[in-house]
Amino acid sequence: MLNDQEIMERVRSGQVELFDELVNRHRASMLRAAVSKLRDQAVAEEAVQDAFLSAFAHRHTYRAEHSFRGWLWTILLNTCRGLARRELGRIDRASGQPESPTAIEPHSSGDALSRLVRAEQAALLFRFLDELPEAQADALRLRFFGELKFDEIAHAMNCSTNGAKQRVRSGLERLSAALRRADVSSIDARDISGSNRSEGDNQ
């Protein structure tokens, strides 16, 4: 199986249909990250689409010695920032009040309550990410949603590998501290759904 760099080389040399494979590989993780950053499913989908469009349009500027994922995620982060600014302006013009964010809509097994708890967990995570310094939050998104290696994060964020690690570590520390303060670690969809099932069994 071809790796990303090899596919990109072929796309650059004219086999543009291979770009579909890159979209297939990276769309899901990019969409997760975009949703967490933009807090709106539709805008996030637009951001991902724009990022792929931009990558495709500028495929000749890609240099094979760099990680494709690092390059692609740089584009996504820039795209998200641009769309976030545009959305902010749109909201300001419309009402002066931000719309309530649309968090990720988890689709997992379990009953309605466990789905609700999971949606709440996602909303909570996104809210805490919003409260972190942007560099730390983006580093966490790239690491966990994008599953990028630290050297790829470093490339995407224009910092050293150690700097990328430090951002992830500091972000996780702050996030953990915030979660402990909020005492939300007890929220566990599995526990709740499990106890619901037990209650159901008993009745």
62 lies in the binding site for another protein (CB under 8 A): no
Please give the size of the binding site for another protein, defined by CB under 8 A: 67
CB atoms within 10 A of CB 95: 9
Shortest distance, position 19 Cβ to another protein, whole Å: 4
Q: Which stretch binds another protein (CB under 8 A): 1-9, 91-99, 164-172, 195-203?
A: 164-172
Site for another protein, residues 10 to 49, rule: CB under 8 A: 11, 16-20, 23-24, 27-29, 31-32, 42-43, 45-47, 49
Using the minimum distance from each CB to another protein, give the nearer residue, 20 or 92: 20
- The answer to whether the Cα torsion of 50, 147, 119, 84 is positive or negative is negative
Q: Where do contacts with another protein occur on this chain (CB under 8 A)? A: 11, 16-20, 23-24, 27-29, 31-32, 42-43, 45-47, 49-54, 56-58, 74-75, 78-79, 82-83, 85-86, 104-109, 118-119, 121-122, 124-125, 140, 143-145, 147, 150, 165, 168-169, 171-173, 175-176, 179-180, 185, 188-190
